[in-house]
Amino acid sequence: MSSDFVAAIDLGSNSFHMVVARITDGHVQILDRLREMVQLAAGLDDHNRLSAQSQQRALDCLARFAQRLRHIPAARVRIVGTNTLRQARNSAEFVARAEQTLGHRVEVVSGHEEARLIYLGVAQSVGHVAGQRLVIDIGGGSTELIIGEAFDPLHLASLRMGCVSVSRDCFADGRVTASRLRQAELLVQLHLEPVREEYLARGWEMVTGASGSIKAIQDVIVREGWSREGITLDALRRLRGALLETSDTAGLVSRWQLEPPRARVFAGGFVVLHGLCETLGIEHLEVSEGALREGLIYDLLGRIRHEDVRDRTIADVIRRFTLDQAQAERVSATALDLLRQVRARWGLAGKEARNVLERAARLHEIGLLLSHDQYHKHGAYVLQHADLPGYSRDDQLLLSVLVRRHRRSFPADAFAALPKAWARPARRLCTLLRLAVVLHRGRSSEPLPPITLQVDRQRLHLLFPAGWLAAHPLTRADLQIEAAMLARAGFALRWGDAKGSHGQVPPPTSA
């Protein structure tokens, strides 16, 4: 299969979806769609741990998906997990097994990032509308609400209610009664209460629904003849009465020919959509074929074209936090020059390593907005917990750890929380970032002289032009302090010029 092919997998709380597409003259041509109702959210126990049975069911599905990915390059595949994998306490365990099964990286994204990708998929799949559009996506464990214009999401919310979670909480045995329906409706209203006024105040010209629950509801409404196109509030009110008449899962299957897995969560999805329409005054919504997986394809296309939304996010953060751009660019340029010199010996030749180092260097002073005192810790917290479009949770954690360790203490286990594949590369990237920060501590606009960095496993040797260090005693003192810090992480730092080396520290404790 040629490199013109791309693929995206959405590990949803209710269903797993895969889309395979071909990029032709910059356009996306969908070639294949696969869907299985895994209902991962139903496998969460009272302690928010995924059961062994639910994990195996999911892995069996991914083993089937893996065959379609076999000949597609890793750079052209994106796989994301959503609400259930955000919630599950043993999510990391499952993600590791999923990556082994698929042979590709799995990203767990935040609710806001999920919403952004959904909007992108919907906006690319439906006709243009003048003004603002409200997009509603009801998943298994969360519901996303996005107001946007054209292809730009403007306001996003991710609510922790979905067809699986509401069905599990209110219709666990499949029976739908008047009292249970009222209980579910109250639950939905409670989730909507914090966002209701804000969304009503923003307004929209059109409403679009996406994903399985909304499509299933539309199919039932059309089958009954309550609406010819889309979903109306009147049709939802009639469907409420029909649900009470049908009363249980078996009745849903026989009356509307629903798949049993869909029938088990139909009532929960209906209550969420009905509650949204009643609360927000939505009289009609169209239904989109595109959703999260299509959004992943278009986002991936942007990365392939070097229009990575992550770069735009970094630029927005720098502008919003009024960072010293000149200093950020100085540190970034030096860090990248050091990387260029050692990338082959240190196994950092990939484009992603360069991107990570550059982004961390540009953001390393973000914590100064709060306080100079321990600003590296403030910056790490912001980067780990902020909503950063384009970034997965692991992406943000990686940036956060690099910023946290770019100065002061550098313990050997500083990167233990990162995914295994990034642990060693991150330590080495952080070492390069630390050196760049030390070399620019004076914040001088005067350019540095040519500096050579030689590495042999954990040993580093910086070479300066003859006489430069003697003329810059503060830099030499900073290097002496940094050498002691790096030694605690197992690195040995030396420096000098053509006449000799100085500042040698004891050999590293690990290779």
Q: What is the residue-level pLDDT of the chain in tens, covering all 511 positions?
A: 345 899 999 999 999 999 999 988 778 889 999 999 999 998 999 999 999 999 999 999 999 999 999 889 999 999 999 999 999 999 999 999 999 999 999 999 999 999 999 999 999 988 788 899 999 999 999 999 999 999 999 999 999 999 999 999 999 999 999 999 999 999 999 999 999 999 999 999 999 999 899 999 999 999 999 998 899 999 999 999 999 999 889 999 999 999 999 999 999 999 999 999 999 999 999 999 989 999 999 999 888 887 889 988 998 888 888 889 999 999 999 999 999 999 999 999 988 999 999 999 999 999 998 888 999 999 999 999 998 999 999 999 999 999 999 999 988 888 988 888 898 999 999 999 999 999 999 999 999 999 999 999 999 999 999 999 999 999 999 999 999 999 999 999 999 986 655 554 444 444 3
Query: Which of 355, 396, 308, 292 lies closest to 80, judged by CA?
Result: 292
User: How far is Cα 209 from Cα 231, in angstroms, rounded to an integer?
Assistant: 9
Query: Which of 3, 43, 9, 47 lies closest to 23, judged by CA?
Result: 3
Q: Which helix (H) or strand (E) holds 11?
A: strand 5-11
What's CA 454's distance to the chain center, in Å? 36
User: How far is Cα 325 from Cα 336, in angstroms, rounded to an integer?
Assistant: 16
pLDDT value for 506? 43
pLDDT value for 499? 60
As given in the structure block, the two tokens for residue 504 are 């040698």
Q: Is the dihedral of CA 423, 424, 427, 429 positive or negative?
A: negative
The full DSSP string for 219-261 is HHHHHHTS-SSSEEHHHHHHHHHHHHHH-SHHHHHHHH---HH
User: How far is Cα 128 from Cα 130, in angstroms, rounded to an integer?
Assistant: 7
Burial of 395 (0-12, 13-18, 19+ CB in 10 A): buried
User: How far is Cα 45 from Cα 48, in angstroms, rounded to an integer?
Assistant: 5
User: How far is Cα 147 from Cα 131, in angstroms, rounded to an integer?
Assistant: 10
* Alpha helices for 36-145 (secondary structure H): 52-69, 83-87, 91-102, 111-125
pTM score:
0.85
